[in-house]
Chain A
Amino acid sequence: MSNPLRGPSPGLEPLEEKTLAEKLFLVRFKVDSASHLILNKDLCLDCTVRACLVICPSEVYKWTEGRPEITVSYEGCLECGACRIACASGAIDWRSPRGGFGVCYKFG
């Protein structure tokens, strides 16, 4: 038996830590050659909210200051649809990836 006052016993280490990128590496994606998320970049330039940068659980959207524009790493999209709901300007043309492509859960 383990005694908590005597510190952790073997086998009871804390849950392993993983970064988001490492977690996404565990998910199976069948990546298509073209993005299924098309942004209207003009609307994005005028957008001050940039809800997409916050909302995405996979952090698909990144603001690139130098360009300046939003880049879309559609390869890691979990297809939850939250960005489409969050973007008030309607700048995201959200299409389902081609049949069989995109996220493919083993557990779900």
Chain B
Amino acid sequence: MADRFDCIIVGAGPAGCAAAYKLASDGMSVIVFERGEYPGSKNMSGGILYSTILNKLIPEFWKEAPVERHVTRRRYSMLSKDSEAALDVNINAFSEPPYNNSFTVLRAKFDRWFAKKAEDAGALIVTEAVVDGFITDNEKITGVKVRMEGGEVLAGAVILADGANSLLSEKAGLREKPAAKEMILGVKEIISLPKEVIEDRFSLEGGQGAALEFFGQCLGGFAGQGFIYTNADCLSVGIGCPISVLQENGLKPAGLIEAFKKHPSVRNLLRGGRIEEYGAHMIPEGGFSAMPELTKDGLILCGDAGGLVNPSLYKEGSNLAMASGVFAAETVIEAKKRGDFSKAALDAYVEKLENSFVLKDMKRFKDAPEILRKAPELFKEYPEELLELLRLHFTVSEASKDEVHGELRRSFKGKVPAWRLLKNLWKLRRIIS
């Protein structure tokens, strides 16, 4: 006889851990399978952890969780080939609890802590356990097959939180393999620097952190972006680029991150650093229209596996993952009470998502991926032009200001078709706010 639980969770990332914590706290019997040596060992993000949900689950978690810094400074940069224009926002009020619910984290440490919390709450966490498929009874999912001796485990419901490369949602028949344009490949290095250097260089004090996002010509004029996030005594430095763009232009990811690090505005922020780790991970950024079906009899999809990443400038995934994990847990708790784990019963999960920021935001920004795809000039011509205008504006010369401004107008009109610029700016609203 196979073991039987109220709920099986596949994957101990933020979605799976949130679900496990919630279920175990409510006294449900729950088992989590994680393929890594420890939870977090396979996981990589930028990453800012947005923690509104976590703070409700575990109030004042920051007092014990391995968070790196709380983010007070956000900087959005437009890069041309060799110059930069930036909007730099530093809000000291974010230094007060709950720290604006944004913390830099290193996932190998954070996920491990979160999984331990779920374990302390009563969840059974099994590491080094790969789930390869499902046990079904008349199309209804009743359990999972784990790649180990006697690896058949049964449950009322399975919560699938296996992340961006969700092989299992395809096996469950909920989706096809995602298209290359829907997936971003993120490549990141951990670069260590003394704490004091980080605080001096990024103008921080007492545990404050900075999140720097780079747009425009980060990747040699191709669609994509770069980032630098400050951790306690290292930086997370990386790039993200759609797989379709890499493929179509023959761009090798390892070369792209090197080029980004060498941009004059980036390299000076990395001086004196030592590379500690190199990693890569996908982000599902197809948005609302690329989302799979989220439920079927006995099964719920959470987090990245369900395509729940806000593809706008907000770049949120962690809080959508945790919110969906909690909603999935609530749904399973209700389903158990009624003894009904059918799709109809589990669709209460989708309703919860719809009534929350998760699907409201996914819908609000549903066009963002398409807009970015259709405006390649955002990454090449516009940044060059913007920086050229700024260069002209700031160039010290003996020309009168009237002459300078005339020159500015002529230069601008000649290069950027005005109607297209206006159209793009109008569309950009849908990405920014």
| Stretch in B39-47, B116-124, B135-143, B342-350 with 4+ CB within 8 Å of A | B39-47
CB pair B127 A100 closer than 8 Å: yes
List residues of chain A with CB within 8 A of the CB of B271. Answer: 12-15
Q: In angstroms, how far is the closest chain A Cβ from the Cβ of B265?
A: 14
CB pair A54 B277 closer than 8 Å: no
Q: CB < 8 Å: which of A26, A80, A95, A104 contacts B281?
A: A80
Contacts known (A54-B252, A86-B247); A23 close to B272, Cβ less than 8 A = no
Q: In angstroms, how far is the closest chain B Cβ from the Cβ of A15?
A: 4
List residues of chain B with CB within 8 A of the CB of A86. Answer: 180, 243, 246-247
List residues of chain B with CB within 8 A of the CB of A24. Answer: 278
CB pair B128 A55 closer than 8 Å: no
- Per the 8 Å Cβ criterion, residues 12-46 of A in contact with B are 12-16, 18, 20, 23-24, 26-27, 30
List residues of chain A with CB within 8 A of the CB of B148. Answer: 99
Q: CB < 8 Å: which of A23, A94, A105, A107 contacts B167?
A: A94
B56 at the interface (CB under 8 A from A): no
B362 at the interface (CB under 8 A from A): no
How does the 8 Å CB contact mask read for A81-108 relative to B, with 1 for contact and 0 for none? Answer: 1101110001000111111101111111
CB pair A15 B267 closer than 8 Å: yes
Q: How many residues of B sit at the interface, in one of the four size bands?
A: 35 or more
List residues of chain A with CB within 8 A of the CB of B191. Answer: 15
CB pair B275 A23 closer than 8 Å: yes
B28 at the interface (CB under 8 A from A): no
A70 at the interface (CB under 8 A from B): no
CB pair B261 A105 closer than 8 Å: no
B35 at the interface (CB under 8 A from A): yes
B183 at the interface (CB under 8 A from A): yes
CB pair A108 B44 closer than 8 Å: yes
Contacts known (A24-B278, A106-B108, A108-B40); A99 close to B35, Cβ less than 8 A = yes
Docked CA distance A42–B250 (Å): 23
Q: In angstroms, how far is the closest chain A Cβ from the Cβ of B273?
A: 5
CB pair A108 B109 closer than 8 Å: yes
Closest-by-CB residue of A relative to B189 is A23
Closest-by-CB residue of A relative to B269 is A15
Contacts known (A26-B278, A80-B185, A108-B107); A55 close to B247, Cβ less than 8 A = yes
List residues of chain B with CB within 8 A of the CB of A96. Answer: 35, 130, 132, 167
Docked CA distance A30–B45 (Å): 21
Contacts known (A15-B271, A80-B280, A105-B279); A99 close to B183, Cβ less than 8 A = no
Docked CA distance A97–B35 (Å): 8
Q: In angstroms, how far is the closest chain A Cβ from the Cβ of B34?
A: 9
Closest-by-CB residue of B relative to A96 is B130
Q: In angstroms, how far is the closest chain A Cβ from the Cβ of B155?
A: 19
CB pair B185 A14 closer than 8 Å: no
- Per the 8 Å Cβ criterion, residues 47-78 of A in contact with B are 49, 51, 54-59, 78
CB pair A82 B183 closer than 8 Å: yes
CB pair A108 B275 closer than 8 Å: no
Q: CB < 8 Å: which of A11, A54, A80, A81 contacts B247?
A: A54
List residues of chain A with CB within 8 A of the CB of B187. Answer: 57
- Per the 8 Å Cβ criterion, residues 258-311 of B in contact with A are 261, 267, 270-282
CB pair B165 A84 closer than 8 Å: yes
List residues of chain B with CB within 8 A of the CB of A49. Answer: 247
CB pair B280 A99 closer than 8 Å: no
Closest-by-CB residue of A relative to B168 is A96
List residues of chain B with CB within 8 A of the CB of A82. Answer: 183, 185, 243, 246, 253, 280, 282
- Per the 8 Å Cβ criterion, residues 122-179 of B in contact with A are 127-130, 132, 147-148, 164-165, 167, 177-179
CB pair A107 B276 closer than 8 Å: yes
Q: List 5 A-B contacts (CB under 8 A).
A: A14-B270, A18-B275, A20-B278, A98-B147, A99-B147
A-B interface, 3 closest residue pairs, ranked by CB to CB distance from nearest? A81-B165, A100-B128, A108-B108
Extra contacts besides A96-B132, A103-B279 (13): CB < 8 Å: A15-B270, A16-B274, A23-B189, A30-B37, A54-B247, A81-B165, A85-B179, A85-B180, A107-B108, A107-B109, A107-B190, A108-B44, A108-B45
